[in-house]
Structure 1
Amino acid sequence: MYRNSEGTLVFSDKPHPEATIISVKSKVESIPASQPNKTIKSSPAKKNMSYQLNILQPKSQATIRSNPGQLTVSLNVSPNRPNSAQLKLWLDGAVVKTLPYRAITTLENVYRGEHQLKVELIDSNGKLIASSQTVTFYMHQASIVNTK
């Protein structure tokens, strides 16, 4: 072993003029205990984290074909949201559902036409943590009018 020009300890099986020869057969009687680093900083509090909230489904400008008006909504929160937070689904400017922890839900009776969907992440105190971009989608339902 020897120290290089940067002061780093180098172990090698190749001879070096400044090397000290050590025996690999030597027995280690004891291993010194490592002292924990007392200056470890704790991770930042979750309330100070920045969350990203995305609507994965429906896609923006998607046409959903469902005669009963069912809409599957899939969400992604990054990093994982706090357990105490809730997701609020907004459809056309009104809250239609509050989710305790699910990232996939179904909305019923969404009428034909253009709709705007938005999701908000709300903490246990009712404070807005994050908000998704508004997604515009189109619900298509077969007409019940016979056009003969």
Structure 2
Amino acid sequence: MVKSVGLYSRICITCLTLLFALEAVAAKVYVHRNAEGVLVFSDTPHPDAEEISPKSKIESIPSSTPQTYSGSSKQQAQSPQYQVRLVQPIDQATIRDNTGSVYVAVQVSPTYQAEHQVRVLLDGEAVIQPQNRSVFMLKNVFRGEHKLKVELLDANGKVIASSKPRTFYMHRASVIKPN
């Protein structure tokens, strides 16, 4: 019994020694600024990095010259450049639906804000009131060739982005009945 207590003590002391040794090795933290001027903390050294201790207070941070934006303040305040793309129907699609229903799916990137709205144009005319969703269903579209386009509007109703026009063909059963 005495031998087993001594063995457990040795194992515990060995484990604690290894634990403290591993902590001392892992305790090295390096800090540097990347090309964009952002602070980067890492456990691997970098040529411009400074070693810091995670347990001590950071009294100095490596300095860098701040990068200035060369554009005007108007350009900085502008909203992002939106891209609008028609996902459905595909270009030159033939849609066979006797009710004349067409599903329209739109993709806008980056994601538009809540005050923005999407307007669907069929043959150059708005067919649905502008809404803030990206899936629509057009009803009672007549037979024939049609041009579809989608526009993204800002809070004031100004067009800020639009899709390329897309052509589709609607096939419906004839209203003329054979004798």
* Both proteins in one fold, TM over 0.5: yes
SS of the residue corresponding to residue 68 of structure 1 reads coil
Task: Please provide the CA RMSD for this pair.
Answer: 3.2
Moved more, 93-102 or 132-141: 93-102
Preserved CA contact (<8 Å) 1:86 1:98: no
Alignment pair present for 1:56 and 2:56 = no
1:98-117 equivalences under 5 Å are: 98-117=129-148
Larger radius of gyration: 2
Match of 2:173 in 1: 142
Structure with greater helix percent: 2
Structure-2-length-normalised TM-score: 0.59
Structure 1 residues 74-85: aligned runs within 5 Å: 74-85=105-116
After superposing on structure 2, the runs of 4+ consecutive aligned residues of structure 1 that deviate more than 2 Å are 6-9, 28-31, 33-37, 144-148
Distance, in Å, in 1 between the alignment partners of 2:167 and 2:149 is 9
- In structure 2, the partner of 1:17 is none
Q: Secondary structure at the match of 1:56?
A: strand
1:78-93 correspondence runs (5 A):
78-93=109-124
Aligned twin of 1:31: 56
Q: Cα 1:85–1:35, aligned 2, differ >3 Å: closer, same or farther?
A: farther
Q: Give percent identity, aligned residues only.
A: 40
Structure 1 98/31 Cα, relative in aligned 2: closer, same or farther at 3 Å?
Answer: farther
Aligned length: 124
Aligned counterparts of 1:121 and 1:29: Cα–Cα separation in 2: 49
Asked if 1:66 corresponds to 2:91, the answer is no
Per-residue CA deviation, residues 26-82 of structure 1 (Å, 9 max, x unaligned), is: xx7933158899x699xx54x431110000001110001110101100000000012
Q: Specify whether residues 7 and 51 from structure 1 end up closer, same or farther in structure 2 by C-alpha distance, changes over 3 A only.
A: closer
Question: 1:35–1:146: structure 2 CA closer, same or farther, 3 Å change rule?
Answer: farther
User: Could you tell me which amino acid in structure 2 is paired with residue 125 of structure 1?
Assistant: N
- Range that drifts further, 97-106 or 52-61: 97-106
Residues 117 and 153 in structure 2, CA contact (< 8 A), matched pair in contact too: yes
Q: State the alpha-carbon separation in 2 of the partners of residues 59 and 70 from structure 1.
A: 15
Distance in structure 2 (CA, Å) of the matches to 1:29 and 1:104: 51
